[in-house]
Structure 1
Amino acid sequence: MTPYILVIEDEDALATLLQYNLQKEGYEVVISSDGEDGLMQVDERLPDLVVLDWMLPKVSGIEVCRRLRSRAETRNLPIIMLTARGEESDRVRGLDTGADDYLTKPFSMTELVARIRAVLRRIRPGLAEDRVAHGDIVIDRVAHRVKRGGREVHLGPTEFRLLDYLMQHPGRVFSREQLLDAVWGSDVYVEARTVDVHVGRLRKALNTGAERDPIRTVRSAGYSLDLED
């Protein structure tokens, strides 16, 4: 699963440079040019990490960070702040507001990429590792293999991506529309009911009969991966 990074930056040249370099590193990148739009983008599709400028039109970066940290669904969203402010008091304020890391302009792209990898590895290890386990399910992204309780599970490409995404967010409920955007892509038109079909295929492959169904259907809401009793 390609990690999705939202860059909230109002300097067009820097935003374009960030998008180009991060895409080259294998990330999916969306650009937002002000704080208000950035918050809307987060509401529409939850990113895996936010690169957030301090000085933004409409809503400041500090306020964006504060609002994201105040909401349950974005409380643990990784945030790296970019700013021209180099004073220690500013860095402390940014971190106290909830930023996971802080980079002062000008900075090198190599350093930013290293910081992104470090934050994802620390906060969302499922995005930084080639092999992820949850309960008795193990997914190997390099070999493109899935096992449950040591048993090989054969999945199609869409079911593999669907399971990978759910395993990155265990316990969280996703609507069909959110899963469509994350697994199929926001630029692809697929009917929401298609999600039900692929969830059904995934369930059939994961469950042999005696095993507990790890995929929970939440009425009128969507699906989640939940292996807890």
Structure 2
Amino acid sequence: MQSPAGQPGAAVAATTTPPALIALGDAEVDLDAREARLRGEPVALGPLEFKLLEYLVRNPGVALSRDQILREVYEYDAQIATDRVDLLVRRLRSKLGWGDRLIAVPGYGYRLERRV
């Protein structure tokens, strides 16, 4: 049964957005300020690295294909080489120390582990 429009809480589910500040272990991502911090210290990320980070934190626990990442981060279709995605992921893992949190899904893509 659906709530009729105008009822308290009817629009809440439709307008709920992820928090702007997301904590992942010893890393924090501030989506509004477009900043990442590791143990309280700023992490210098390039525009594509931050865009990948934002895409990952908005989809925790979801296996994202390399093609999806290409479309969302690079804004290209799959005509660009997927090895660029692998390189970008390696850089992000290195800068945030996420070798055990940003998991490769063999033959598919990557998944950001939800654990805190």
Mark yes or no: TM-score above 0.5. yes
State whether residues 175 and 223 of structure 1, in contact with CA within 8 Å, keep that contact through their aligned partners in structure 2. Answer: yes
Correspondence 1:221 to 2:111:
no
Q: C-alpha separation between the residues in 1 aligned to 2:89 and 2:28?
A: 18
Q: C-alpha separation between the residues in 1 aligned to 2:85 and 2:74?
A: 10
* Aligned equivalent of 2:45: 155
Q: C-alpha separation between the residues in 1 aligned to 2:52 and 2:41?
A: 19
State the Cα distance separating 1:193 from its structure 2 match: 1.5
Match runs of 1:100-115 below 5 Å: 115=11
| 3-state SS of paired residue (2:61) | coil
Q: TM-score, normalised by structure 2?
A: 0.77
Correspondence 1:119 to 2:11:
no
Q: C-alpha separation between the residues in 1 aligned to 2:101 and 2:41?
A: 15
After TM superposition, the runs of 4+ consecutive aligned structure 1 residues lying more than 4 A away are 186-189
| 3-state SS of paired residue (1:223) | strand
Equivalent residue pairs, number? 111
Q: TM-score, normalised by structure 1?
A: 0.42
Structure 2 unaligned spans of 5+: 6-10
Structure 1 unaligned spans of 5+: 1-91, 96-100, 104-114
Residues 212 and 177 (structure 1), Cα distance of their counterparts in 2 relative to 1, 3 Å cut? closer
State whether residues 24 and 115 of structure 2, in contact with CA within 8 Å, keep that contact through their aligned partners in structure 1. Answer: no
| 3-state SS of paired residue (1:182) | helix
State whether residues 215 and 223 of structure 1, in contact with CA within 8 Å, keep that contact through their aligned partners in structure 2. Answer: yes
Superposed CA RMSD in Å reads 2.7
State the Cα distance separating 1:196 from its structure 2 match: 0.5
Match runs of 1:35-184 below 5 Å: 92=1, 95=2, 115=11, 119-121=14-16, 125-126=17-18, 129-184=19-74
**If each structure's helix is expressed as a fraction of its own residues, which one has the higher value?**
1
Q: Which has the larger radius of gyration?
A: 1
State the Cα distance separating 1:187 from its structure 2 match: 5.5
| 3-state SS of paired residue (1:183) | helix
Amino acid at match of 2:61: G
* Bigger RCO (CA 8 Å, 6+ sep): 2
